[in-house]
Amino acid sequence: MPDALAQLQTAIGHQFEAPDLLVKALRHRSVGAHNNERLEFLGDGLLNFVIAHALYQARPDVPEGDLSRLRATLVRESTLARVAQGLKLGDLVELGQGERASGGHRRASIRADALEAVIGAVYLDGGFESAAGVVKTLWRDELTTLPDAESLKDSKTRLQEWLQARGLALPVYRVISESGPVHKRQFVAECQCATVACQGEGSSRRKAEQNAAAACLTQLLTEANVDA
């Protein structure tokens, strides 16, 4: 483990003055009371701020809503877990016996939480600039390959904006049916707007409505191109 922790510090670009902080950052709550949850809380706040600041600088002409969507993609669990996987954090996290037996080291949420805790530990050990530097180092690729903010809007938002831009009424949604057991519900929703009405399915009402909106938007765009 000492060699692995040394490699981790090299990878993140920070050498701990208080190595115990790093050890605690890698201790899952299943181990006991002295775990990484408080460090995770601290790291989460730091990560959100540093990413927000980086986006503010990188996209000076992008409105707040688009910046929020971009930030959400960079700080979501799947992104955190991917970055953590590159550092092999899953192999370093200390787990309780039950969590270890169930394969907790492979769980995305545990890797993501550990990464936030490491960021929090860096802040306590070296201050804000050190923590910000670690975040910028680990998120360098994500920050240099940002997607188009427009592509991050969900289907309901895109449909609403398309209709509003043309002075058309907002869409109306309704759930047509629900089926399946409680733990595995399936919803069918309908979206009515302008000249079209489309249905969508999903494991929640929201997902079904999103899929119905996507279908409507596709049909409206197709009709608009035909008319043109």
Strands (E) in the chain, as ranges, are: 172-179, 186-193, 196-202
Q: What backbone torsions phi and psi does residue 188 show, to the nearest 5 degrees?
A: -125, 125
Rounded Cα gap, residues 134 and 118, in angstroms: 10
Please say whether the dihedral angle defined by the alpha carbons of residues 142, 129, 40 and 60, taken in this order, is positive or negative: negative
Q: What backbone torsions phi and psi does residue 166 show, to the nearest 5 degrees?
A: -110, 10
Active site residues: 44, 116
Between CA 98 and CA 107, with CA 104 as vertex, the angle to 5 degrees is: 155
